[in-house]
Amino acid sequence: MTLEGYLKALDILAGEYPKWNAPAVTLIATSSRDPYLVLISTLLSLRTKDETTAKASERLFALAKTPEEMIKLKAPTIQNAIYPVGFYRDKAERILEISQRLIDDFGGKVPSDLDTLTSFKGVGRKTANLVVSLGFNLPAVCVDTHVHRISNILGFARTKTPEETETAIRKRVPIERWSGINDLLVAFGQTICKSVSPLCSKCPIASLCEKNGVKKHR
Active site residues: 126, 144
- Contact call for residues 127 and 46 (beta carbons, < 8 A): yes
The CB density around residue 59, as the number of other CB atoms within 10 Å, is 14
- DSSP-assigned letter for residue 81: H
R_g over Cα of the chain: 18
Phi-psi domain of 109 (left: phi exceeds 0; alpha: psi -120 through 50; beta: other) = beta
CA distances to 18, 28, 66 from 34, rounded to whole Å, are: 23, 9, 10
CA distances to 37, 46, 192, 204 from 127, rounded to whole Å, are: 12, 9, 24, 29
CA dist., res. 214 & res. 32, Å (int)? 38
